[in-house]
Structure 1
């Protein structure tokens, strides 16, 4: 019970006149009368919720429990009308037992019983004396307890300390009354009429704004002075909370008053400025109109902009739509409509920029120069959209930055990875809360140019969901026939994107929308050779990392063999990102030595690389072991470049069961079944006894079993592995192959040839078997990539087996099965 509700109970309850006469403060004479009351040893106990009864205090209580009603009626009909009142520990307990009530309570006298119209019973009780439960006698039909009465230890003589405590309590109570205007003023008169220090503490304890457990703590204190000190502590805390609350209310009222004052002042200013002929709040709109007159933009856009300004003039500045319309008009002004940078079509300069920023990639750079040459001759951007396609870390995004630098154009970039909301491309309609233009228009605004080089990064990672299909929105952006009138939902007017040089990047073509892919010219950027990686490290990566780590060329240099060791033993990738990380690790180690003034080797050698980076991560020996029949090296393409993989097969006594393992996809499983069916049909030609298929189980496994694998390019690899184990002929060392097979024994072409060639070179492969139709892919590859490789082109499976399998069998040939 807080002080507000308590005081209201004492002074504003709507009882009849007889009851009002009964509710009064206990005087000293009444305390003397209490001494004449004979308090029984056993008391009927009434548990109450949310409050604690103190001696001398009169409070009304609504009784609803059946046990409580029975106790009240029986006690009221008796002569003494005395009951024991104890607070219960859990306010939610409907029928508390003896363990759920406190042990200290107050003897109360029932003054009045009121039966209300709703059926509830309200009793008015007056606290008389504190007691402590010695033991509970029974629990039914209501609690009865043996009690021991507690005497009040409050000095009867008014010492200075007691006087000061009483005065402090009264002052604190008066302050609470001032801070809480909801408490009636009669409460102050009641406090002034209290002379007994003991009753003052009981009265204030009953009404202080604290929890029941804290009030119970006050009731249980026998020493009056100690109770008064704790009570004063609670009241001071309550005063602090009331003061904070009062301060918050004052600030809120002050803010509201200030807003009203500002509104009236603005209205008066508007009237005065209208009388003087000044624009007032229209000044900002007029400034935008002047900017719009100087702006270079299409006539329809200018007309639309002026309509928005007229709408602003008619609108109340306090209206919710005003800031939205104002921001929209400002965005139209800030957008570059016909602000173009002058192109630098010096193609030799462009060639130098590309050669400076990127080593290798000759065909890619030649295609970009051709593209720029056509732009120079045509003088318009209506050409194919370039899409740089290749594994991560090969320099696709940085090529776009180099093109911007070569053309002297602004650079803009948008990452499409994970974009699934069409509004990211087309923008939101202005009517929506938090509406924004699409990322295309936002980046054009940031670039402050209508003809930047715009990189659409990771276009293969666009997703679609219930919010639309961003790929479909990009169709308009990347179509030279349509993007001259690109409509952003937020902009509401067409924007010309035909002068923007869009360059897309992708790691995979399979996930790109077919219609979107049709609008782009794919430029394949494959991985780098060992020699290219070494040059890239020397020219770009090492200087960059040296600078980022605060070192100079005098502090550290790399031996060429050390760089080769990092490339071969610690990286296995198409790009150079992981190579850069490994070089950074070496340079950080040197930077630590420089900072700690330790002795270190300024020349990084192979030994230093081994010391800093630890044992080699990749072992080339693992990629050259084909000494066991049934083990064949295949070539695979992944999104991060080419990889080599092993296909292992083994036979065991059984009934001709085929087992496939290694997380193979459906296509690879079908390739294995096709290969087995082909071998069964050609068993006699290959020297395989037909009974072997019935009496031996075949198990085909592709290592790295935790990695999912799928695709048709492992067809001839599967067939060679199975043929090797059935014929017990070993596979030629350092041979890898890739190609799809048919049931008739034909070899079909596959893709990703360049990545597979590079993977073979990294693994030390010397011979590769490909489909005859893949010859054109080899011819398009730079001669440096295939240097040192012997490539065999085949049309049939029999050619593959003739090239891959050795004539001699292992020392222990497969046991023949008798007829």
Structure 2
């Protein structure tokens, strides 16, 4: 049982703290009343009463704010700190209960009843002490807040009440719970309370540990990633990389969202970006993925330029840039007209075929300008690897898309004018056939889902206007040629060349050489002479070079010889360019026996071809020379066979082939020659040589021959007619079936030529041979 004893003492109210009997603790005292209470105590027996405030936040506590039961304590030591507060070391002595508050203005003074505890240590108390110690030991194992040294010191305590107080002082309890233990006077009850609290705390701590483990497992991955990312950021910043990969990923994500890609491509881009984020920058695959994402971002997926559909405006632009070429201009205007009516049309695939220098490439550029479209050019000359068209697979660092995708990136819109230059000069080898890869690109039914090996996702080429150029459509594979609309651009006539030189080439070269009309004047007759005697071509590329040479010579005279003005007359042309390089007008000067003039079609336009036949005694051998191809040799054999079969009608000795050797020669032996259109020319020259009748000097001829003497149609009539006109011929014999092609020949050439359409060799001989049998 507890007994009571009264005493009057100064009171020190404690905030958030509680002192048990036998407990030694440091207190910092700063409140004025508390400081005065301590100073009073130190002058007396150094005893003071400690009671806890009900609310920690109360600055100036009143009687009702302080718990009634507290602890009588002895001040062991007091130290004044520099900031004015007092640090005191107190030791709890015994419990006490405030009886009354006494009036004192300087500090709290209370009249207390001291509680004397009966420290009876029976069997029940011993059992409770053991239980409390075991529970405290279990608590220490779970909690990290109490040390094993504390347990050892607690185990030495023999009084049950003091044991309960010491254990309670080491528990993390709220002030209210600690006050309840302080107010529990009965020792057994106090020990029971402490045991309950210990068991409860242990359960809470066990639960906390389980929850902590679960949370740790779920958060470990996230925390690890976060930690690694932060570490990477720190390393990148140390290396001088401003934001590292994280900043780059954010930027790329924004760009992908803004790129307006199709949904399937966007998904692929984000998936690749996710991979890129996880792969270290030092990995080779990292740069492969980064390049791939860049290509996806830089390709135009939906950006489209608005077509400027105005037929008159387009026609004016085409006429300004190019003289002639009516068929091509008409086709472009038709395309625009259809587009204006339908508002949507699959891009046409045009193939501009013609000799070099006629303006195929520059015409494509003018079409783009007229349509207000972006222009992009891909040169296919010499391409022999399929990957050049379709791209490489993304299996190594140097992989790239093909020329088509590269061109689309350069164009920056999904509807450019795309020029496939020199499409006839592609070849193939063990790396695949690039012309076969172009089939998908140039097929309007397939190219809306063009597949590039590098991009992998389908790309829409259906709005692109593809224009191909070729010198010789004969070398383009059939399936590829079938997908294109061929527009033949023949060579220019002399009249057209004069116009082009005056309006385009000479002004351009004068500007490039720093000349104007005041410094250089070129007369019209000089331009004609320049075309006739210094160039021989279907196009105007060499003519432009000669114009540049004239400008250089003039510039030298103006600067070196200090002439103010140079006038280029016909007579001065030789001084500028030297002796004429070509002979204008190649027609024979007189009728010849055994020599006929044929008309040939070459990649550089048309040309005249002289075929000579010589007969001399021998054993009937047919000799062919002049670097002839197989088809030309067969034409000579066919002509020879026809003449043998018709020897009587032609008044030729039936046994001529047994007594004579026949030699057929085509001059310019270094140049390969082939094609069926020399058939009637060879036959005419043979008949002329065998009959002695001369061939008219002004007649040129073209046509394929059969064994029965029929004349079959040929191609390139316009080019052949231009070459005949240039050579000074006045009559052209052509196959009957080629009469339809006469409309293509310019009026300026047609009025100077007489065209004779024939269907049999007899008609050819009638018009080509002169004189009687000698």
Give TM-score, length-normalised by structure 1: 0.65
Candidates 538, 542, 549, aligned match of 1:585: 549
Structure 1 residue ranges (4+ consecutive) displaced by more than 6 angstroms after TM superposition? none
Matched, 1:358 2:298: no
1:800 to 1:280, Cα distance in 2 relative to 1, 3 A: closer
| Residue equivalent to 2:515 | 551
Give 1:367 shift: 1.6
| Residue equivalent to 1:795 | 759
Task: Show the 5 A alignment for 1:125-140.
Answer: none
Matched, 1:386 2:350: yes
Residue segments in structure 2 that go unaligned for 5+ positions in a row: 1-227
Give 1:427 shift: 0.5
| Residue equivalent to 2:632 | 668
| Residue equivalent to 2:566 | 602
Give 1:500 shift: 1.0
Task: Show the 5 A alignment for 1:155-554.
Answer: 267=231, 269-270=233-234, 281-554=245-518
1:329 to 1:766, Cα distance in 2 relative to 1, 3 A: same
Contact kept, 8 Å, 1:381 with 1:500, in 2: the verdict is: no
Q: Distance in 1 between matches of 2:362 and 2:235?
A: 59
Name the SS of the counterpart of 2:476 in structure 1.
coil
Give 1:609 shift: 1.0
Q: Distance in 1 between matches of 2:586 and 2:474?
A: 31
Per-residue displacement from partner, 1:767-819 (whole Å, max 9, x unpaired)?
A: 0001100111113434334221100000100000000000335xxx4xxxxxx
Deviates more, 1:552-561 or 1:716-725: 552-561
Q: Distance in 2 between matches of 1:637 and 1:806?
A: 27
| Residue equivalent to 1:720 | 684
Give 1:515 shift: 0.8
Give 1:360 shift: 1.0
Matched, 1:641 2:605: yes
Q: Distance in 1 between matches of 2:263 and 2:691?
A: 81
Candidates 765, 770, 778, aligned match of 2:734: 770
What is the aligned length?
544
1:801 to 1:271, Cα distance in 2 relative to 1, 3 A: closer
Give 1:265 shift: 13
Name the SS of the counterpart of 2:308 in structure 1.
coil
Give 1:496 shift: 0.9
Name the SS of the counterpart of 1:685 in structure 2.
coil
Contact kept, 8 Å, 2:596 with 2:695, in 1: the verdict is: yes
| Residue equivalent to 2:674 | 710
Matched, 1:576 2:540: yes
Q: Distance in 1 between matches of 2:639 and 2:563?
A: 62
Q: Distance in 2 between matches of 1:376 and 1:704?
A: 53
Matched, 1:695 2:659: yes
Contact kept, 8 Å, 2:382 with 2:425, in 1: the verdict is: yes
1:622 to 1:762, Cα distance in 2 relative to 1, 3 A: closer
Give 1:271 shift: 8.0
Residue segments in structure 1 that go unaligned for 5+ positions in a row: 1-263, 814-819
1:304 to 1:386, Cα distance in 2 relative to 1, 3 A: same
Q: Distance in 2 between matches of 1:600 and 1:730?
A: 57
Contact kept, 8 Å, 2:619 with 2:658, in 1: the verdict is: yes
Contact kept, 8 Å, 1:384 with 1:519, in 2: the verdict is: no
Give 1:280 shift: 5.0
1:525 to 1:621, Cα distance in 2 relative to 1, 3 A: closer
| Residue equivalent to 1:174 | none
Which of 1 and 2 has greater Rg? 2
Per-residue displacement from partner, 1:530-576 (whole Å, max 9, x unpaired)?
A: 00000000000001111111111211121111000011111111100
1:601 to 1:614, Cα distance in 2 relative to 1, 3 A: farther
Q: Distance in 1 between matches of 2:584 and 2:505?
A: 25
Give 1:689 shift: 2.3
Task: Show the 5 A alignment for 1:8-19.
Answer: none
Contact kept, 8 Å, 2:384 with 2:433, in 1: the verdict is: yes
Per-residue displacement from partner, 1:296-353 (whole Å, max 9, x unpaired)?
A: 2211111111111111222222322112211211221111111111110111110000
Name the SS of the counterpart of 2:596 in structure 1.
strand
Contact kept, 8 Å, 2:348 with 2:465, in 1: the verdict is: no
Q: Distance in 1 between matches of 2:236 and 2:440?
A: 52
Per-residue displacement from partner, 1:219-253 (whole Å, max 9, x unpaired)?
A: xxxxxxxxxxxxxxxxxxxxxxxxxxxxxxxxxxx
Task: Show the 5 A alignment for 1:39-188.
Answer: none
Give TM-score, length-normalised by structure 2: 0.68
Q: Distance in 2 between matches of 1:495 and 1:328?
A: 15
| Residue equivalent to 1:70 | none
Contact kept, 8 Å, 2:288 with 2:396, in 1: the verdict is: no
Name the SS of the counterpart of 2:368 in structure 1.
helix
Q: Distance in 1 between matches of 2:701 and 2:363?
A: 33
Q: Distance in 1 between matches of 2:433 and 2:750?
A: 42
Candidates 661, 670, 683, aligned match of 2:647: 683
Q: Distance in 2 between matches of 1:665 and 1:326?
A: 55
